Amino acid sequence: MKYRVIRFFVPAVLLLSLISCGYNSMQTQEEAVFQAWSNLESQIQRRSDLVPNLVATVKGAAAMEQETLTQVTEARAKATQVTLTPSDLSNQVKMNEYVSSQQALSSSLSRLLVSVEKYPELKSLANFTDLQTQLEGTENRIAVARKDYNDAVAAFNGMIRKFPYSLTNSLLLHLERKEYFQATEEAKAVPKVEF
């Protein structure tokens, strides 16, 4: 009789300990990080796709400062060259490089939109107004996607550090902490607007 009880309780205790060890939960959290990153990349790609249309519209409608247009084009080219894979999300150096290239594009786009203020005939064009609205909406979507990504990273990083999940991770999964999407030093400075 005792032997039957032991045969029943030992597997039950092992099963309960496996359920509470977080093995599946940690993998679900890591997938949430990857999904959030994918959503962020999707919004960044949308912005990258809009930039050539915006630049072409501005070029066609106004004799703008060539330097600003060149900066936007170069920043977009650099931003599309720097890519991250899901495995790079734990690499601080690669993450900083990616964030820096995206920040340079955002900064040059801001200068472009400020420069447009000098050209009232350009602002009245329906195509430009539509592109500007789409670009502003995309920048907002990118901000939301960055927040969602950082929230997913916080949840994941917190989970792999908490007991008993940390034990499960160190013994079975070996998942690495993910890096946050952080602003660059240049982004912290107040932008100068000159007319």
What is the rounded distance in angstroms from the CA atom of residue 13 to the CA atom of residue 29?
A: 25
Q: Would you give per-residue pLDDT tens digits along the chain (195 residues)?
A: 666 767 766 666 655 555 567 788 888 888 989 899 888 888 888 878 777 777 776 666 555 556 666 777 777 777 777 787 888 888 888 888 888 888 877 877 777 776 666 666 555 566 667 777 877 888 888 888 888 989 999 999 998 888 888 888 888 888 899 888 877 666 555 545 443
Q: Is the peptide bond before 164 cis (omega within 30 degrees of 0)?
A: yes
- The distance between the two most distant Cα atoms of the chain, rounded to a whole number of Å, is 93
Task: Confirm if 108 and 139 have CB atoms less than 8 A apart.
Answer: no
Query: Residues for the chain: how many in total?
Result: 195
- In this prediction, residue 108 carries a pLDDT of 77
Q: What is the DSSP letter of 172?
A: I
Chain centroid to CA 33: 10
- Tell the residue number behind the tokens 């927040």, with chain if given: 147
